[in-house]
Amino acid sequence: MCLAIPARVAELLDNDNAVVELGGVRKEISLALVDGVVVGDYVIVHVGYALNRLDPEKAAKTLQLFAEIGLQTI
**Binding residues for another protein, per CB under 8 A?**
1-6, 8, 22-28, 30, 32-35, 42, 44-49, 51-52, 54-56, 58-59, 61-63, 65-67, 69-70, 72, 74
| Minimum distance from residue 14 beta carbon to another protein (Å) | 14
Q: How far is CA 69 from CA 2, 59, 61, 64, 73, in A?
A: 28, 16, 12, 8, 9
Containing 25, the helix (H) or strand (E) segment is strand 25-30
Asked if 44 and 55 count as a contact pair (C-beta separation under 8 A), the reply is no
| Minimum distance from residue 34 beta carbon to another protein (Å) | 7
Q: Report the residue number, 14 or 66, with the smaller CB distance to another protein.
A: 66
CA distance 43 to 58: 14
| Minimum distance from residue 15 beta carbon to another protein (Å) | 10
